[in-house]
Structures are given as C-alpha cells and as structure tokens.
Amino acid sequence: MKEVYRYAYHYAGRPVGEGRLEVERRKRGVRASLEAEFLPPLPPGRQRWQTELDAEGFSLRFQERVEGKEVRVFTVERLEEEGVVLVSQGKESLAYPYLAPYHDPLSLFLALPGLALEPGEVVRFPMPGGRVYVERLPDVEVEGKARRQYRLRPGLSLVQVEEGRLVRVAQQVGRHVFEAVLLEAEGP
C-alpha cells in the first residue's frame, strides 16, 4: 500500500508551488518519489526525485530530474557487486569506490521519523560526495501536538516530524526561507 503526502511550498512567506511524495514499502526495501512544481519568484519548473532503498533504508539508486529552461538528469547508483557507486549526469559518468551504505536526499528525509536520538545528540550519515550531520533539537508543541525537530548540516535545514510524518521542512535559500508544509496524508 502506498503512502501519499501533499506539501505546499513557500518562499519568503509566499506560495511557490506544491509537491507530492509517494512512498511504497516493500519486503526488501522502499521505493519513493517526490514530484514538485515551482512557481515564481523561484525559477519556474518541475523537479522529480526518485529513490530505491535497501531493507535498512539506505540508497540503492537515486535520480533527480529537473525540468526548467533545460532538462537535467542526475543519477547515483550503488553497484555493490562491482564495488562502486556510479554517478551520472547527462552523458558523463564517474565510478567511485563503494565504501559504506549511504543516504541520498530523499532517503535521508524518509529515515528521520525512525531516528532514536535524544535532544542534543548528533549522528553523521554518509552521502554521495560528502556527509550530513543530523542534530536532534528539543520538541516543540504545535496546535497541541508534539513535534520532533532535527537540524541538518550542511545547509542548516530544519525538519519537523509529527506522528511519524514529515510535517515541515525549512531552509535558508538566498536571503529568504523556503518551506515545505504538509497539507494532507493518505495511507498507513
């Protein structure tokens, strides 16, 4: 059964689009996709993230497709048997040694609701081309419900989780804040 989440996007307090996240949990992992449409003042266009995760929630394959003035496709694929991570953009491909399981941007967001961190604790996750630090912040109460909060670095994103769902993501983009806020959820 699929879980479907719909998000409203805001930039500098103004609506700039919507996104739809679909998550399909399987016996051997997860398949998820996030489709987003952006409006001015952001550059208008569509963006699609797709990920396939192993049973532990780490990335097997990630693809980002951006459609705007031009179309760009970026793919990262874990080829464990060959011992490499293949990174492709357009016709260019590079192979890097596969050293350890890693997250992609979407798998990281999907992992946050299941993290067992206490406020103040920090965990480091490998990502293609670097790493991300996830810091658990104190809970906040919004409309009578507790929300767990995480700060992601680099980038200084703030992520709020309520009842196991990502309900808000905020990040500084330029001089303003970009926000994704959960509008509705369907599924388990």
What is the token pair recorded at 140? 């906040």
Indicate the helix (H) or strand (E) that contains 149: strand 145-153
Q: How far apart are CA 161 and CA 167, in angstroms?
A: 6
Q: How far apart are CA 31 and CA 121, in angstroms?
A: 29
Neighbours of 93 (CB within 10 A): 11
pLDDT at residue 155 is higher than 90: no
Domain that holds residue 57: 2-186
Q: How far apart are CA 149 and CA 86, in angstroms?
A: 33
- pLDDT tens-digit series, residues 17-26: 999 999 999 9
pLDDT at residue 188 is higher than 90: no
Residue 42 confidence (pLDDT): 87
Q: How far apart are CA 2 and CA 72, in angstroms?
A: 28
Sign of the CA dihedral running 12, 50, 34, 185: negative
User: How many helices (H) does the chain have, and how many strands (E)?
Assistant: 1, 14
| CA 172 to chain CA centroid, nearest Å | 16
Residue 187 confidence (pLDDT): 84
Residue 14 confidence (pLDDT): 96
- pLDDT tens-digit series, residues 79-114: 999 999 999 998 899 999 999 999 999 999 999 999
Torsion of CA 163, 26, 54, 155, to 10 degrees: -30
Q: How far apart are CA 45 and CA 66, in angstroms?
A: 7
pLDDT at residue 64 is higher than 80: yes
What is the token pair recorded at 60? 């097997």
- What pTM was computed for the model? 0.93
pLDDT at residue 140 is higher than 80: yes
Number of domains the chain contains: 1
What is the token pair recorded at 34? 């996030």
